[in-house]
Structure 1
Amino acid sequence: MTIANEPLSADNPLPDGVHGRLAEQLTFLIEVDRLKTVLRQSPLAAADRRENDAEHSWHLALMVLVLAEYADEPVDVARTVELVLVHDLVEIYAGDTPLYDDEGAASQREREEAAADALFALLPSGQAEVFRLRWDEFEAKETAEAQFAKAMDRLQPLLLNWMAEGGTWRTPGVTADTVRERKAVIGDASSELWAAARTLIDEGERRGWVARGSE
């Protein structure tokens, strides 16, 4: 993990006329431009390249707006959007941990906690605490909003893998059972979306886009 010694704004400091709370907020907003450089494993549906974290976060926010009606328990849409926009910001310093990377997952929590401490500290006091609370809420997956946000985080790459005729489902050692197991959290938030996701996985298995499981 690489945590920057200086924020990006240090390369071209804000003028003296911009100071205090606003300067801290603008420093943070400049810093999170780094999210656009963090590549994920998921392939885009519309182009022959991998998506980046900023694109992923935007897609999740839109999915919340479109699919919230399928939540088994009603959710606060605005807060759920906040959760999906905040949860991957730590990957600016911690890097992306692919879903099927068991080795990387072993250190993921430690890396992301340290990244959250460093990144959110750029915000003014009060606002920093709110962002950290949202990040912690997503990670804990205890509220209806966090469960639905997590479901979107699992459903979005599934759709991209479907469009890529496998995508990361073709990772060595991954089977259809692996995909079902790691996508099952969708069902914690929406039985209807989980049924649709299962249909896509099952059909992908039938078409040979993912190694057959035992089911």
Structure 2
Amino acid sequence: MEDIKGLIDFMIQVEKLKAVERQTKPVGLDRYENSAEHSWHVCLSALILKDFANEQVDIVRVMKMLLIHDLGEIEAGDTVIYSSETDENKQLERSGIQKLFQLLPKANRKEYSSLWDEFEEGNSPEASFAKAIDRVPPLLHNIHGEGHSWKKHNISKEKVFAFNSERISKGSNVLWLEIESRLNEAVEKGVLR
């Protein structure tokens, strides 16, 4: 009975992800996306793009990583990716994850902590692909939203290309080539400067 109680308590706590406002607006909408919507979108994206991973991946493992990787934002909030790769922010997220995972039975806690760490390290084929997929929706949001977040946070085209090229191509070269093409079109149209 203790296990089910912890799992239900965890379910209640992760609802808070719906209140974490992200930095981009979904395509065609004039509001900011929340982190729970992002989690759904990246999971579906991973599923439909799995055949374009550089290496064969366990798609269920990839989707598990994508479902839990942003749960630390419940505590830490969302920040612009181009400035969020700091030790301070990573520690805030890690602290939030550890606090949240304490609600889980030991076996779940161990599995989810391991998946979160694997995603953060980005070294396995699954983690590399998950990290690649995680970058795509925000780019598409900006490309199809007049570069709203790039302009608001003064993000240069050099920074967008440098950061995303490495992360996306490590998981899927084919995906990066397509996104790079779309980014180049955004530059030509003045959406990305």
Other-structure match for 2:135: 154
Question: Is the radius of gyration larger for structure 1 or structure 2?
Answer: 1
Other-structure match for 1:134: 115
Instruction: Write the deviation string for residues 78-114 of structure 1: whole angstroms up to 9, x where unpaired.
Output: 1100010010011111111211336x73511111111
Other-structure match for 1:70: 52
- Matches of 1:32 and 1:172, distance apart in 2: 28
Other-structure match for 1:16: none
- Matches of 2:155 and 2:48, distance apart in 1: 30
Q: Which contiguous aligned blocks of 4+ residues in structure 1 show a shift greater than 3 angstroms?
A: none
Q: CA deviation at 1:23?
A: 0.7
Secondary structure of the residue aligned to 1:188 is: helix
Q: CA deviation at 1:171?
A: 3.4
Instruction: Note the residue ranges of structure 1 that are not aligned, 5 or more in a row.
Output: 1-18
- Matches of 1:187 and 1:167, distance apart in 2: 24
Pairing 1:176–2:157 present: yes
Answer whether contact 1:176 1:202 (CA < 8 A) is retained: no
**Normalising by the residue count of structure 1, what TM-score does the alignment of the two structures yield?**
0.86
Give the aligned residue type for 1:125: K
Answer whether contact 2:72 2:93 (CA < 8 A) is retained: yes
- Matches of 1:204 and 1:124, distance apart in 2: 47
Instruction: Note the residue ranges of structure 2 that are not aligned, 5 or more in a row.
Output: none
**Normalising by the residue count of structure 2, what TM-score does the alignment of the two structures yield?**
0.95
Answer whether contact 1:41 1:50 (CA < 8 A) is retained: yes
Pairing 1:114–2:95 present: yes
Give the aligned residue type for 1:206: E
More RCO (CA 8 Å, sep 6+): 2
Query: Which structure dedicates a bigger proportion of its chain to helix?
Result: 2
- Matches of 1:128 and 1:163, distance apart in 2: 38
- Matches of 1:172 and 1:116, distance apart in 2: 27
Instruction: Write the deviation string for residues 138-178 of structure 1: whole angstroms up to 9, x where unpaired.
Output: 00101000000000111111111111021222134321111
